[in-house]
């Protein structure tokens, strides 16, 4: 009986060791997944994507660097990204970054556009409320980004701050490399007028954001 239970213990130990080894091997394999397999999997996820959709999942240089450093690049890379992204920002030719805050409110509230299910010609929105609190009266908002309540008021409706807000909306990574915020102008997702309008929504003294 004693021999039997010793045998049992040895067997249990062997099983445990075996499991630990299997887990270690699995972890090693997981770390070594071929990116081509991941790409093929992602590409196979959509059944009937529209024409030209593949470019939307191809990473640009900035996204590649951010992925490589898990969104936490060392200072030198961080500065390189910021300079590169800042160089893409195009300010409005007429010299004013402030449009109509009322139109900007609609841009901030609208989440359609860019989805495979959108009807052709759908005007895209900025979906800012998905990530930010903005006006006090709006009860539904996401919290991935910071609250933008009283954004202009806090910045004393300063002209340089308005320009900075426009640049942020045009290309969030020109301010904060590896940001989770979409690059609305860089990707031509919003028009110049829409970006001006949403800048006014943030920076105008009349906007509900600043009330
Ligand atoms: C997918 C989420 C997401 C969406 C959508 C989004 N943002 Fe952001 N935003 C963020 C995050 C995260 C930050 C903080 C990191 C950073 O500064 O990039 C941020 C930061 C900002 C800042 C800087 C805040 C500061 O402290 O100075 C502004 C301004 C801003 N967003 C405006 C907007 C506007 C306007 C829109 C819509 C056109 C928008 N965001 C849409 C995620 C988002």
Atom index in ligand 1 nearest the CA of residue 201 equals 35
Q: Measure the CA–CA gap between 170 and 167, rounded to whole angstroms.
A: 5
For residue 109, report the distance from its CA to the centre of ligand 1, in Å.
14
The whole-model pTM stands at 0.84
Question: Whole-angstrom distance between the N-terminal and C-terminal Cα of the chain?
Answer: 82
Sequence-distant (≥ 6) Cβ neighbours of residue 43 within 8 angstroms:
54, 57
Residues in contact with ligand 1 (CB, 6 Å cut-off): 108, 126-128, 130-132, 144-146, 148, 165, 168-169, 172, 175-176, 179-182, 184, 198, 202
Residue 131: name the closest of 155, 156, 109, 115 by CA: 109
Q: Measure the CA–CA gap between 155 and 20, rounded to whole angstroms.
A: 57
Question: What does the chain come to in residues?
Answer: 211
Q: Measure the CA–CA gap between 146 and 116, rounded to whole angstroms.
A: 29
E strand residue ranges, 83-167: none
The per-residue pLDDT for 135 is 98
The per-residue pLDDT for 117 is 84
> In the chain, helix, strand, coil percent, each to 5?
55, 0, 45
The per-residue pLDDT for 114 is 84
Q: Measure the CA–CA gap between 174 and 183, rounded to whole angstroms.
A: 9
Ligand 1 pocket test: which of 181, 182, 197 has the largest number of ligand atoms within 8 Å of its C-beta? 181
Atom index in ligand 1 nearest the CA of residue 165 equals 29
Q: Would you call 93 helix, strand, or coil by DSSP?
A: coil
Ligand 1 pocket test: which of 73, 112, 131 has the largest number of ligand atoms within 8 Å of its C-beta? 131
Contact yes or no for 196/166 (Cβ under 8 A): yes
Contact yes or no for 46/115 (Cβ under 8 A): no
For residue 132, report the distance from its CA to the centre of ligand 1, in Å.
7
Ranges of residues in the chain whose predicted pLDDT is under 70: 1-30
The per-residue pLDDT for 7 is 47
């Amino acid at each position: 009986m004693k021999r039997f239970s010793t045998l049992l213990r040895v067997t249990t130990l062997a099983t445990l060791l075996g499991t630990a080894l299997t887990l270690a091997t699995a972890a090693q394999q997981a770390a070594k997944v071929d990116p081509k397999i991941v790409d093929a999997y992602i590409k196979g996820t959509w059944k009937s994507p529209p024409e030209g959709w593949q470019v939307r999942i191809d990473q640009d240089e900035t996204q590649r660097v951010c992925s490589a450093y898990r969104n936490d690049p060392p200072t030198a890379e961080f500065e390189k990204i910021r300079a590169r992204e800042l160089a893409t920002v195009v300010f409005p030719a007429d010299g004013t970054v402030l449009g109509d805050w009322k139109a900007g409110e609609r841009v901030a509230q609208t989440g359609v556009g860019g989805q495979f299910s959108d009807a052709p010609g759908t005007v895209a929105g900025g979906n800012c409320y998905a990530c930010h609190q903005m006006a006090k009266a709006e009860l539904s908002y996401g919290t991935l980004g910071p609250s933008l309540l009283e954004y202009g008021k806090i910045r004393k409706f300063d002209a340089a701050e308005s320009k900075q807000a426009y640049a942020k909306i045009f290309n969030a990574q020109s301010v904060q490399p590896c940001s989770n915020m979409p690059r609305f102008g860089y990707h031509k997702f919003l028009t110049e007028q829409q970006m001006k309008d949403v800048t006014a929504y943030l920076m105008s003294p009349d906007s509900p954001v600043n009330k």
